[in-house]
Amino acid sequence: MENREIQKILPHRYPFLLIDRILSLEPGKKGQGMKNLTEGEWFLHGHCHYPPPLILESLAQVGGIILGSKAREESPGVVFIGLFAGVSNFTWLRYPRLGEAVTLKMELSKSLAALYRFNGEVWVDREKIAGGEILLSFIKTPPPNPSA
């Protein structure tokens, strides 16, 4: 899934769309996204690594694609709101650096009502560099009423 398709699911746009493409997707279950760290990235000006809070947001955006694609399958006209609700048990082994391609893996581990817990992992090549739990809140709303 490329950038334009991602933007049909997520409301994020530059400079805060933090995934370049989706590599694999099982709607409602799991997915993998990719972020290439190039010189043009606004958050790398004056830094040599991807800031940890933005890595967490990137993982959350992959989770939003996983949940949003499932919601669209079930109700094509649905409007949804996704929120980053928390992070726990997250371990950093190192931070990705300029020039690296970052793979963002998310898999749903538990859901209760509008809360979804994911296991998230961050990889560079074959090296796992971070991982933990990400909590998202996902609320479906009825499509807007054009006659209102």
Taking Cα atoms as reference points, which of 28, 34, 44 lies closest to residue 3? 34
Active site residue 49: no
pLDDT in tens, the chain (148 residues): 998 999 988 988 889 999 999 999 999 999 999 999 998 888 888 878 899 999 999 999 999 999 999 988 888 877 788 899 999 999 999 999 999 999 999 999 999 989 999 999 999 999 999 999 999 998 877 666 666 5
How confident is the model at residue 75, as a pLDDT? 83
Q: What angle do CA 94, 56, 83 make, to 5 degrees?
A: 170
Contact criterion met (CB below 8 Å) for 20 and 41: no
DSSP string, the chain: --HHHHHHH----TTS---SEEEEEETTTEEEEEEE--TT-GGGTT-SB--HHHHHHHHHHHHHHHHHHHHHHH-TT-EEEEEEEEEEEEEES---BTTPEEEEEEEEEEEETTEEEEEEEEEETTEEEEEEEEEEEEEEEPPP-TT-
Pick the CATH number of 3-140 from 3.40.50.300, 3.30.1280.10, 1.10.1530.10, 3.10.129.10: 3.10.129.10
How confident is the model at residue 147, as a pLDDT? 67
| Global confidence as pTM | 0.92
What amino acid is encoded at 121 in this protein?
A: E
How confident is the model at residue 118, as a pLDDT? 98
How confident is the model at residue 134, as a pLDDT? 98
